[in-house]
Structure 1
Amino acid sequence: MQIKPLTPEDPLELGDFELLGRIGHGGMGQVFLGESLGGEPAAVKVIKPSVVDSESRLRFAQEIEVLKTIWGPRMAAFLGADPEAEQPWLATEYVDGPDLARHVKTDGPLPTVLTAALGAILAEALSAVHTQGLLHRDLKPANILLGPNGPKIIDFGLAAFTESSVSLTAPHQVVGTPICMAPEQAAGVKPLTAAVDVYALGALLLFAATGHYPHEAATPYMVFHLVTDPGTAPDLSGAPAELVPLLSGMLAHDAGSRPSLTDVVQQCRSVIEAQGMKIAQARRRLTAHTAKQPHSSTSPAVQPPTVLWPAPANDPSGAEITPVDLDVPAPAEEPAPSANTLVAPGPSAPETPAPEPPSRLDPPSDGPGHGRSASDRPPTAPRQPTARTPTLRHSVQARRTAERLRTAYAAKAPF
């Protein structure tokens, strides 16, 4: 996953989380890589100041309450939040890996067995969510992160309690992503049932196996029309023959004709076992396949793109930092403290605040040079602490990681 430096306008801290860099953005906010007091990495989601109003705060507060109620190994865990802050924020478990949409676009569709393994994993996870009285309502490839421990579901911003009669949207207003939206959801039918998540999972698995969705068109309006038209069958072209019966059932126009999530798990197991493999083996292969990291010799042209969360969006070009840039040997000994480092306190030495926090990556200057290393830059006067630059805490590992981020960014930024 690529991490971009903080900008001068970005906060340095939110709650008890120190912000280290940018890892993605969506329509309503920015997502930062953060670190807790105890050194736990976190994805910290912040609502954009331009969209902070009473309605967005209410929806954000609902997302927080939903996240507090869900649990499971396939869910990005809730770590903290403050919907009433000047900049409302929400912290969840940081999953170091691309989303499914990016993976398929970069590496191509998943093999049949791995698609079936993904289906079994996600169907079981969604079943647990439904048991807790919730619907996701916006399941799509961008909301599945492929981490080192397997896939995880994120972004319950549109989730709803199934028994709730309260809606934050106006009557007949449809909110969600049309490419994976069930016909009844697209038509504004209420109340929704678990079948909407079954349909969305079917659309997601079709994309994982083929690289395309059940219905595609030039505009969202045209997609809505295709989804809601009972005479338009989903496009299953390119789908493996072993998965066609399952996908046809999950993408049925009539909600009552779709299989339950338990049936989806069983059918996925059958596909895997027909290939002479056990479900546990297929799960391990899926994780090994999607968690592959590029080697240092990989050219920039095939480096994985920035992972955007909660949904991919156009991102202005700029200097980016990849895991390859961080893959350098750690020093055998701690370097001598300098103006840009923070000294860890010894038994009798007080902690010394750094004039410039190492976790904050300075944006490129407007100088004419390109590709200059950090050592080529003219020295600058240390920045004095202000009300906006509090004393920050760092573990040894955090300081090393921040220093590698700084070095990697300085080496490729247009200074």
Structure 2
Amino acid sequence: MQITPLNPEDPSVLGDFELLGRIGHGGMGQVFLGESLGGEPAAVKVIKPSVVDSESRQRFAQEIEILKTVWGARLAAFLGADAEAEQPWLATEYVDGPDLARYVKDHGPLPSVLTAALGAVLAEALSAVHGQGLLHRDLKPANVLLGPNGPKIIDFGLAAFTEASVALTAPHQVVGTPICMAPEQAAGVKPLTAAVDVYALGALLLFASTGHYPHEAVTPYMVFHLVTDPDSRPDLSGAPEDLVPLLTAVLAKSAEDRPSLTDVVRRCRSVIEAHGTKIAQARRKLTAHTARQPFRTVRSGESTTALWPAPVSDVAGTEITPADLDPPVVAEVPEPSPTELDVPAPDTLPTTEVMSRPQPDPPASADGARGGRPAPGRPPAGSRRPSEAMPTLRHSVQARRTAERLRAVYAAKASF
């Protein structure tokens, strides 16, 4: 998951959560990485001040009430909220990993066995949601996070009680994502049934295995037309042969023709077992295939440096702290010769680039928690110790000179 520093106008604290960085944004607001008083990371969603009105507060309050009722091992947990605050916010479990859309874009489609494992996991999770009398209504690759403990479903902002008689949407208003939307949902049919989430799951699995959706077009209106046209058929080109029967069934135009979520789990198991693999093994392989390094923070005085997950090809790094540059507190060891330093030249030092999806031009900052200039004596977030010789070298004059040089190089190459 890509995280960028806070902007100067961003709040630093909401409720009991300290905000450390920006995760993403949408039409209604911004999502921050937060940390509870006990150090628990959280995704904190805040409504934009420009859209805070009575209707948006009502929608937000409804989302909070829905999240309070949703629970499950594959669902991001609700942690807290305040719909009446000046800046309404809610906090959910932070899942440290890319969303499925980003993962497929960066690494390509999943093999059929792993796609089937993903389908079984998500179908079981959705079944639990439906058992609580809820529909997700906006399941899509961007709403599935591939965390270190397996995939989790997020963003129940469009969730609705299946038996609710009153909705906040206008009579003919359709809310959701067209490329993953069931035909009856796109046509505005009410009430919706569990079949809309089955269709969305099918669209998600097709994307996971091929990199494309059932219906794609230049504009959302054209996609709506293709989705609702009874004569159009989903594009299954490129789908693994063993997944075609499952995808054909879950993407059926008629809700009545789609299998139940329990049947989806069974079909996914059949695909997996046909490859000589057990479902539990396939789930573990899925997590191992998509997992990333966990989030962690390093405290130094009053500031917080966030060390975000590094690209898969990068070498795990360690922050160089001011302690590495302080005078030694133990007896000084003999100074090694230059040939013993084993420190790469400045232009070969590794760097960590932090890309910003929501903010193309992130503000200048070397602190993952606050904007502004770097604190004296500390490098930018994500800095890395280039040599295991550093623990010994730190006790010599040459070590301090080397550390100063490293710090200058990292500061010059910092991405923000």
Shared fold (TM-score, shorter chain, > 0.5): yes
Distance (whole Å) between structure 1 residues aligned to residue 372 and residue 82 of structure 2? 28
Report the counterpart of residue 356 of structure 2 in structure 1: none
Instruction: Say if 2:277 is the partner of 1:277.
Output: yes
Q: Which runs of 5+ in 1 are unaligned?
A: 295-319, 338-356, 366-372, 378-405
Report the counterpart of residue 56 of structure 1 in structure 2: 56
Distance (whole Å) between structure 1 residues aligned to residue 35 and residue 307 of structure 2? 18
The amino acid across from 2:290 in the alignment is T
Distance (whole Å) between structure 2 residues aligned to residue 291 and residue 138 of structure 1? 24
Distance (whole Å) between structure 2 residues aligned to residue 90 and residue 331 of structure 1? 34
- Give SS of 2:207's match: helix
1:44 touches 1:92 (CA, 8 Å); kept in 2? yes
Tell me by how many angstroms 1:111 deviates: 0.2
The amino acid across from 1:264 in the alignment is V
The amino acid across from 1:180 in the alignment is C
Distance (whole Å) between structure 1 residues aligned to residue 226 and residue 266 of structure 2? 30
Q: Deviations over 1:253-302 (max 9, x none)?
A: 000000000000000000000000000000000000011459xxxxxxxx
Q: 1:117 to 1:321 in 2, by over 3 A?
A: same
Tell me by how many angstroms 1:410 deviates: 5.0
Q: 1:8 to 1:258 in 2, by over 3 A?
A: same
Aligned CA-pair RMSD: 3.0
1:7 touches 1:363 (CA, 8 Å); kept in 2? no
- Give SS of 2:23's match: strand
1:5 touches 1:363 (CA, 8 Å); kept in 2? no
Report the counterpart of residue 159 of structure 2 in structure 1: 159
Q: 1:260 to 1:2 in 2, by over 3 A?
A: same
Distance (whole Å) between structure 2 residues aligned to residue 409 and residue 185 of structure 1? 51
Q: Which moved more, 1:325-334 or 1:101-110?
A: 325-334
- Give SS of 1:191's match: coil
Tell me by how many angstroms 1:239 deviates: 0.6
Q: Which runs of 5+ in 2 are unaligned?
A: 295-305, 327-365, 380-406
Distance (whole Å) between structure 2 residues aligned to residue 358 and residue 240 of structure 1? 45
The amino acid across from 2:317 in the alignment is V
Report the counterpart of residue 329 of structure 1 in structure 2: 318
Distance (whole Å) between structure 2 residues aligned to residue 12 and residue 145 of structure 1? 25
Instruction: Say if 2:150 is the partner of 1:150.
Output: yes
Distance (whole Å) between structure 1 residues aligned to residue 163 and residue 65 of structure 2? 15
Distance (whole Å) between structure 1 residues aligned to residue 317 and residue 173 of structure 2? 51
Q: 1:409 to 1:152 in 2, by over 3 A?
A: farther
2:79 touches 2:92 (CA, 8 Å); kept in 1? yes
1:2 touches 1:321 (CA, 8 Å); kept in 2? no
Report the counterpart of residue 80 of structure 2 in structure 1: 80
Report the counterpart of residue 200 of structure 1 in structure 2: 200
Distance (whole Å) between structure 2 residues aligned to residue 223 and residue 113 of structure 1? 29
Q: 1:29 to 1:233 in 2, by over 3 A?
A: same
Report the counterpart of residue 4 of structure 1 in structure 2: 4
Distance (whole Å) between structure 2 residues aligned to residue 57 and residue 45 of structure 1? 13
Tell me by how many angstroms 1:24 deviates: 1.3
Instruction: Say if 2:119 is the partner of 1:130.
Output: no
The amino acid across from 1:362 in the alignment is G
- Please report the TM-score for the alignment, with normalisation by the length of structure 1: 0.76
Larger radius of gyration: 2
Report the counterpart of residue 20 of structure 1 in structure 2: 20
- Give SS of 2:241's match: coil
- Give SS of 1:80's match: strand
- Superposed, which structure 2 residues align to 1:257-272 within 5 Å? 257-272=257-272
Tell me by how many angstroms 1:364 deviates: 6.5
Distance (whole Å) between structure 1 residues aligned to residue 108 and residue 292 of structure 2? 13
- Give SS of 2:242's match: coil
How many residues get paired? 337
Q: What percent of counterpart residues are identical?
A: 79
Report the counterpart of residue 355 of structure 2 in structure 1: none
- Superposed, which structure 2 residues align to 1:201-240 within 5 Å? 201-240=201-240
- Give SS of 1:123's match: helix
Report the counterpart of residue 244 of structure 2 in structure 1: 244
Q: 1:188 to 1:407 in 2, by over 3 A?
A: farther
1:321 touches 1:408 (CA, 8 Å); kept in 2? no
Q: 1:376 to 1:100 in 2, by over 3 A?
A: closer
The amino acid across from 1:92 in the alignment is T
Tell me by how many angstroms 1:26 deviates: 1.4
